[in-house]
């Protein structure tokens, strides 16, 4: 059994008066893929954004409860959110490349964290990240053209490349394959499998098959609550909650 | 529920009542279009009248009548060891008298001299001082004629009005015509309008001082308002908490943009001149005053440009572990820059045309040389126009219009730059 990387205990999130997450407690294991599933609007993205304190940037959002990374509370004043976000990377639900070149998109993280000693090393990091995100072959001849000029699916992979270029310890992926064709999806799933050897991953997905294929742990959210969590095989073959059963068999959501 | 609700009645598109409605709708469309076109036509017509009137009044000032004379720079008149102290007035007199040997009486000779610009001796002096080798030789040089004869040459003085009500006597007119017949009178482009500083004599007055004064004032204005405006806008957009205080500041900034400019002039008079004891008429003070007015414009434009940067870009950078300043400098500012520059140029263009505050701090002084820095007294383009418009000499009428044309030219150039920058750097995301 892998050690615990992150824990969440009694997390509540409010957007103004909207109580978006109610008392969520989850363990995220190291070297494991955890899938968050649930109907649209149930709070998956909201919870994901708690894990790297991205909700701090929304003025109306209020987060309660305790979340730890390697045993340390991430809301501790000693923890720098900037440092935290470098360790807990994120791929957003909507592709959001910078209006800069493809190269600069991927190189931005390594640059601001000083991960490359020289240009050659940076080139290598960029190439490796793009290759792993299954984008290298499509863009290797136009690295200097703008990232915003790529197709939706290419932008999604560019954002994945950008996130993994900084080698985060935990990678949060919010529907990373929503705009991808089956081949690219398979490549990303391969990447997820490979990243699992070293990192801890959390993936939000609306595809039950994908959750079943790539994850070892699954958590099912419903209307702001965490209904059920456990081994993926157990959730998909023998869920203990009625709502989970209904959702994965496609009866609602 | 009735049957009709369950099965909607099929629409008869050929129904005459429907056709009437369609026609009426088309009629309204045409009416709206016509109203818009009329409004646009009126606006263009007004503009055409304005520019037309300016050009009609100003065209005369774009040329200047000159007369070419033969000057004898004798060493008796101009000592080679000190050419600046030479008696150039006498040299000019000799040159003019030489053309009209029959004129001998003192009165007639004075009238003869009135034909030539009183500035001619100074022009000659400057020429000789630049090239002392001319001493002892003779020099052919074109000098401006005085304002009444410039008007005469341009046909602005009606020769048929009775002599008593004309600024040029019959005799003087005849002598001038003789100069024309001798081929000595020319009317080249009035370069002096740009290269001369202000003067009491319209034929010598130019905009050089005002152009430099405006340049220095705008430079000071830009150096103050650009960094301060951007810094304030960044703070308000990216760092300031949303509370009553920032709301109050925001309201105040918006109000500041609407404060009449003369109020800023009074403020500057009291603070910059009164308390700080800065010199009157200095472009430094002018620029600081204009900066007060430009600042709100730049802050508002910058905030709008920063607001227009999509939040997803900010999130992407924050999500990678960028700190606040990295988000601002690496992503937000580059994307907001076209908007910021456009706002800045529009603010500066406003400042360029601003007159009232400059009048209050004395940038409407009569100064006959261009300023050599931000501390020396100067005028600015709009205040120069104000001075000229106030001058009684006929020659200043056309010069005022010409100066307005120059000012408008700069304004158009600045606004065109703003449009170009917006097009050039507009990014898509
Ligand atoms: N920035 C925000 N401001 C206010 N309310 C928000 C914000 N983001 C999310 N919410 C609310 O929080 C609730 C959960 O949203 P969330 O984005 O977490 O859903 P989700 O599970 O990711 O859905 P989806 O599968 O459609 O992405 C929703 O009711 C939503 O309206
Ligand atoms: Mg979501």
Please report, for chain B, the start and end positions of each structural domain, with discontinuous segments joined by +.
61-190, 208-425
Q: Per-residue pLDDT averaged across A5-14, rounded?
A: 94
Q: Per-residue pLDDT averaged across A179-190, rounded?
A: 88
Q: Tell me, yes or no, if A114 comes closer than 8 A to chain B by beta carbon.
A: no
Helix axis angle, B208-234 to B333-353, nearest 10°? 140
How many Å lie between the alpha carbon of B337 and the closest alpha carbon of chain A?
13
For residue range B165-223, what is the model confidence (pLDDT) as tens digits?
Answer: 888 888 888 889 999 998 889 988 888 888 888 888 888 888 999 999 999 999 999 99
Q: Tell me, yes or no, if A112 comes closer than 8 A to chain B by beta carbon.
A: yes
Helix axis angle, B395-425 to B333-353, nearest 10°? 170
Q: Which residue does chain A place closest to B324, by CA atoms? A: A82
For residue range B267-304, what is the model confidence (pLDDT) as tens digits?
Answer: 999 999 989 988 988 999 999 999 999 999 999 999 99
Asked whether the beta carbons of residue B312 and residue A92 sit closer than 8 angstroms, the reply is: yes
Question: Whose alpha carbon is nearest atom 11 of ligand 1?
Answer: A20
Mean pLDDT of chain A: 91
Q: Tell me, yes or no, if B320 comes closer than 8 A to chain A by beta carbon.
A: yes
Q: Tell me, yes or no, if B428 comes closer than 8 A to chain A by beta carbon.
A: yes
Asked whether the beta carbons of residue A54 and residue B331 sit closer than 8 angstroms, the reply is: no
Which among A94, A96, A112 has CB closest to B322? A112
Say which DSSP state B270 is in. Answer: I
Candidates B320, B338, B429, partner chain A, best to mutate (most A CBs within 10 A): B320
- Which pLDDT band holds residue B429 (cuts at 50, 70, 90)? very low
For residue range B56-106, what is the model confidence (pLDDT) as tens digits?
Answer: 888 888 889 999 999 988 888 888 888 888 889 999 998 999 888 888 888
Q: Tell me, yes or no, if B422 comes closer than 8 A to chain A by beta carbon.
A: no
Q: Which two structure tokens, joined as six digits, stand for B261?
A: 């400019």
Asked whether the beta carbons of residue B316 and residue A159 sit closer than 8 angstroms, the reply is: yes
Q: Could you tell me which of A123, A152, A115, A153 has the C-alpha nearest to residue A140?
A: A123
In chain B, residues with a C-beta closer than 8 Å to the C-beta of A86 are 320-321
| A22 Cβ neighbours under 8 A, 6+ residues apart | A12, A224, A225
Domains of chain A: 4-248 (3.40.50.300)
In chain B, residues with a C-beta closer than 8 Å to the C-beta of A145 are none
Position B1 scores a pLDDT of 47
Position B142 scores a pLDDT of 92
Q: Is B116 left (phi over 0), alpha (psi -120 to 50) or beta?
A: beta
Atom of ligand 1 nearest to the CA of A43: 18
Position A161 scores a pLDDT of 94
Helix axis angle, A152-164 to A119-132, nearest 10°? 130
Q: Tell me, yes or no, if A14 comes closer than 8 A to chain B by beta carbon.
A: no
Say which DSSP state B63 is in. Answer: B
Position A253 scores a pLDDT of 52
Q: Is A114 exposed, middle or buried (0-12, 13-18, 19+ CB in 10 A)?
A: exposed
Cβ A54 vs Cβ A85: under 8 Å:
yes
Cβ B352 vs Cβ B409: under 8 Å:
no
Of B114-123, B143-152, B365-374, minimum mean pLDDT range: B365-374
B299 C-alpha to ligand 1 centroid (Å) = 33
Calpha distance A239→A244 (Å, rounded)? 6
Asked whether the beta carbons of residue A86 and residue B429 sit closer than 8 angstroms, the reply is: no
Percent of chain B with pLDDT over 90: 44
Say which DSSP state B68 is in. Answer: E
For residue range B375-397, what is the model confidence (pLDDT) as tens digits?
Answer: 888 899 999 999 999 888 888 88
Lining residues, ligand 1, CB within 6 Å = A 15, 18, 20, 38, 40-46, 58, 60, 93
Position B6 scores a pLDDT of 67
In chain A, residues with a C-beta closer than 8 Å to the C-beta of B427 are 99
Q: Which two structure tokens, joined as six digits, stand for B56?
A: 């009609």
- Which pLDDT band holds residue B370 (cuts at 50, 70, 90)? confident
- Which pLDDT band holds residue B319 (cuts at 50, 70, 90)? very high
Question: How many beta carbons lie within 10 A of that of residue B248, not counting itself?
Answer: 10
Distances in Å between the Cα of B253 and the Cα atoms of A69, A147, B206, B248 are 44, 37, 38, 9
Q: Which two structure tokens, joined as six digits, stand for A157?
A: 């992979």
CB pairs under 8 A between A and B: 64
Atom of ligand 1 nearest to the CA of A221: 21
Cβ A185 vs Cβ A61: under 8 Å:
no
Q: Is B4 exposed, middle or buried (0-12, 13-18, 19+ CB in 10 A)?
A: exposed
From A19, A21, A41, give the residue whose CB has the most ligand 1 atoms within 8 Å, as the site to mutate.
Answer: A41
Q: Could you tell me which of A195, A151, A147 has the C-alpha nearest to residue A173?
A: A195
Candidates A16, A45, A56, A90, partner chain B, best to mutate (most B CBs within 10 A): A90
State the complex-level ipTM: 0.90
Candidates A60, A79, A100, A163, partner chain B, best to mutate (most B CBs within 10 A): A100
Question: Whose alpha carbon is nearest atom 12 of ligand 1?
Answer: A20
Distances in Å between the Cα of A99 and the Cα atoms of A150, B35, B335, B365 are 11, 42, 8, 51
- Which pLDDT band holds residue A12 (cuts at 50, 70, 90)? very high
Cβ B229 vs Cβ B257: under 8 Å:
no
Question: Whose alpha carbon is nearest atom 22 of ligand 1?
Answer: A45
Q: Is A152 exposed, middle or buried (0-12, 13-18, 19+ CB in 10 A)?
A: exposed
A41 C-alpha to ligand 2 centroid (Å) = 7
For residue range B300-314, what is the model confidence (pLDDT) as tens digits?
Answer: 999 999 999 999 999
How many Å lie between the alpha carbon of A85 and the closest alpha carbon of chain B?
5
> Dmax of chain A from CA atoms?
56
Query: Which CATH number among 3.20.10.10, 1.10.1740.10, 3.90.1150.10, 1.10.3720.10 corresponds to the domain B208-425?
Result: 1.10.3720.10
- Which pLDDT band holds residue B35 (cuts at 50, 70, 90)? very high
| A33 Cβ neighbours under 8 A, 6+ residues apart | A192, A193, A196, A201, A202, A203, A214, A215, A216, A217
Position A127 scores a pLDDT of 95
Q: Which of residues 285-314 of B touch A (CB under 8 A)?
A: 310, 312-314
Which among B312, B319, B321 has CB closest to A112? B321
Say which DSSP state B83 is in. Answer: G
> Dmax of chain B from CA atoms?
121
Atom of ligand 1 nearest to the CA of A44: 21
Residue B264, pLDDT above cutoff 70: yes
In chain B, residues with a C-beta closer than 8 Å to the C-beta of A85 are 318-321
Position B427 scores a pLDDT of 58
In chain B, residues with a C-beta closer than 8 Å to the C-beta of A108 are 317, 320, 322, 330
SS3 of A221, please?
Answer: strand
Which among A57, A99, A162 has CB closest to B315? A57
Cβ B22 vs Cβ B14: under 8 Å:
no
A157 C-alpha to ligand 2 centroid (Å) = 17
Q: Tell me, yes or no, if A162 comes closer than 8 A to chain B by beta carbon.
A: yes
Mean pLDDT of chain B: 89
Q: Which residue does chain A place closest to B326, by CA atoms? A: A112
Position B373 scores a pLDDT of 85
Q: Hunting for tokens 């005085």 — which residue is that?
A: B146
């Amino acid at each position: 059994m892998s050690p615990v990387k992150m824990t969440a205990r009694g997390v509540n999130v409010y957007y103004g008066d909207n109580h978006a997450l109610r008392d969520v407690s989850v363990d995220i294991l190291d070297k494991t893929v955890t899938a968050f599933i649930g109907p649209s609007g149930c709070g998956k993205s909201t919870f994901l954004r708690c894990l790297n304190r991205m909700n701090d940037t929304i003025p109306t959002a209020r987060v309660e409860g305790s979340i730890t990374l390697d045993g340390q509370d991430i809301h501790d004043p000693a923890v720098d959110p900037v440092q935290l976000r470098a360790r807990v990377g994120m791929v957003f639900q909507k592709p959001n490349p910078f209006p800069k070149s493809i190269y600069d998109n991927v190189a931005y993280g390594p640059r601001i964290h000083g991960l490359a000693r020289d240009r050659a090393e940076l080139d290598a990091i960029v190439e490796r990240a793009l290759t792993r995100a299954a984008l290298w072959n499509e863009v290797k001849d136009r690295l200097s053209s703008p990232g915003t000029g790529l197709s939706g699916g290419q932008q999604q992979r560019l954002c994945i490349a950008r996130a993994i270029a900084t080698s985060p310890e935990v990678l949060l992926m919010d529907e990373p394959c929503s705009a991808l064709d089956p081949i690219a999806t398979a490549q990303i799933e391969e990447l997820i499998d490979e990243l699992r050897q070293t990192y801890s991953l959390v993936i939000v997905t609306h595809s039950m098959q994908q959750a079943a294929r790539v994850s070892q742990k699954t958590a099912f959210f419903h209307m702001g609550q965490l209904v059920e969590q456990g081994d993926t095989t157990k959730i998909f073959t023998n869920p203990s909650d009625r709502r989970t059963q209904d959702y994965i068999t496609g009866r609602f959501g | 529920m009735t049957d009709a609700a369950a099965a909607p009645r099929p629409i008869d598109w050929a129904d005459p009542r429907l056709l009437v409605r369609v026609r009426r709708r088309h009629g309204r469309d045409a009416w709206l279009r016509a109203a818009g076109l009329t409004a646009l036509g009126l606006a263009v017509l007004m503009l055409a009248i304005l520019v037309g009137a300016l050009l009609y009044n100003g065209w005369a000032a774009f040329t200047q009548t000159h007369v070419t004379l033969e000057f004898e720079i004798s060493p008796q008149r101009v000592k080679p060891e000190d050419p600046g102290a030479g008696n150039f007035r006498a040299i000019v007199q000799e040159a003019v008298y030489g053309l009209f040997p029959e004129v001998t009486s003192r009165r007639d000779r004075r009238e003869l001299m009135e034909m030539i610009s009183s500035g001619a001796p100074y022009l000659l002096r400057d020429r000789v001082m630049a090239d002392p080798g001319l001493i002892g030789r003779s020099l052919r040089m074109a000098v401006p004629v005085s304002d009444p004869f410039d008007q005469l040459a341009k046909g602005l003085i009606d020769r048929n009005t009775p002599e008593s009500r004309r600024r040029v006597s019959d005799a003087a007119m005849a002598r001038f015509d003789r100069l024309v017949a001798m081929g000595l009178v020319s009317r080249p482009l009035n370069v002096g309008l740009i290269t001369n500083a202000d003067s009491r004599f319209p034929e010598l007055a130019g905009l050089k001082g005002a152009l430099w004064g405006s340049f220095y004032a705008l430079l000071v204005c830009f150096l103050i308002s650009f960094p301060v405006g951007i810094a304030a806008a960044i703070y308000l957009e990216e760092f300031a908490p949303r509370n009553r205080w920032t709301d109050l500041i925001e309201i105040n900034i918006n109000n500041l943009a609407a404060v009449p400019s003369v109020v800023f002039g009074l403020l500057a008079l009291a603070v910059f001149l009164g308390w700080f004891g800065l010199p009157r008429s200095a472009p430094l003070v002018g620029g600081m005053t204009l900066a007060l007015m430009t600042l709100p414009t730049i802050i508002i434009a910058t905030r709008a440009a920063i607001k227009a940067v999509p939040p997803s870009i900010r999130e992407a950078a924050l999500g990678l572990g960028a700190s606040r300043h990295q988000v601002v400098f690496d992503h937000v500012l580059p994307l907001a820059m076209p908007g910021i520059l456009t706002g800045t140029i529009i603010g500066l263009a406003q400042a360029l045309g601003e007159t009232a505050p400059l009048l209050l701090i004395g940038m409407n002084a009569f100064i006959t040389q261009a300023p050599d820095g931000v501390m020396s007294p100067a005028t600015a383009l709009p205040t120069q126009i104000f001075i000229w418009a106030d001058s009684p000499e006929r020659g200043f009428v056309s010069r005022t219009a010409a100066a307005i044309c120059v000012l408008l030219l700069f304004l158009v150039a600045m606004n065109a730059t703003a449009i170009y920058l917006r097009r050039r750097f507009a990014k898509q995301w």
